[in-house]
């Protein structure tokens, strides 16, 4: 059973490697989490105190999602034996879509590489 440190590493640290399945499932999980406050914001009047609270919460969760997405992408790049700096491609319009799909499809390096001994584990 994973502990809290494993989840912190998975979502917020840049060392280690993750495989395709963990990358895609982690992204989908983060997408669900960030969508909830957006959904709640759309249910209330934007000028209400509830609307402002949900808007603020969405902004905070979105920033955490952005950090986690970059961390996941760096670890995924490490799994295919590429430097994490290539994650910059996720910020280039149009290219980001292809980069994300490539990270979801391209197989990782079998066995150890320069970024870690095992997939889905910190270095």
Q: In this predicted model, what pLDDT tens digit does every residue of 15-24 receive, in sequence order?
A: 999 999 999 9
Residue 75 confidence (pLDDT): 94
DSSP string, 50-71: HHHHHHHHHHHHHHHHHHHHHH
| Domain spans in the chain, listed from the N-terminal domain onward | 16-105
| CB neighbour burial string for 60-84, b if at least 16 within 10 angstroms, e if fewer | ebeeebeebbbbbbbbbbbbbebeb
pTM for the predicted model, two decimal places = 0.87
Q: In this predicted model, what pLDDT tens digit does every residue of 27-72 receive, in sequence order?
A: 999 999 999 999 999 999 989 999 999 999 999 999 999 999 999 9
Residue 119 confidence (pLDDT): 87
Q: Residue 5: which pLDDT band, with cuts at 50, 70 and 90? A: low
Q: In this predicted model, what pLDDT tens digit does every residue of 90-118 receive, in sequence order?
A: 889 999 999 999 999 999 998 889 998 88
Q: Which 8-state DSSP code applies to residue 1?
A: -
Residue 38 confidence (pLDDT): 92
């Amino acid at each position: 059973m994973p502990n809290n440190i494993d989840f912190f590493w998975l979502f917020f640290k840049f060392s280690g490697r993750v495989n395709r399945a963990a990358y895609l499932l982690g992204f989908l999980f983060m997408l669900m989490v960030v969508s909830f406050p957006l959904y709640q914001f759309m249910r209330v009047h934007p000028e209400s105190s509830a609307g402002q609270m949900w808007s603020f919460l969405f902004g905070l969760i979105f920033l955490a999602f952005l950090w986690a997405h970059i961390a996941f992408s760096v670890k995924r790049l490490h799994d295919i034996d590429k430097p994490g700096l290539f994650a910059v491609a996720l910020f280039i319009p149009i290219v980001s879509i292809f980069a994300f799909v490539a990270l979801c499809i391209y197989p990782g390096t079998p066995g150890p590489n320069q970024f870690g001994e095992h997939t889905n584990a910190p270095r």
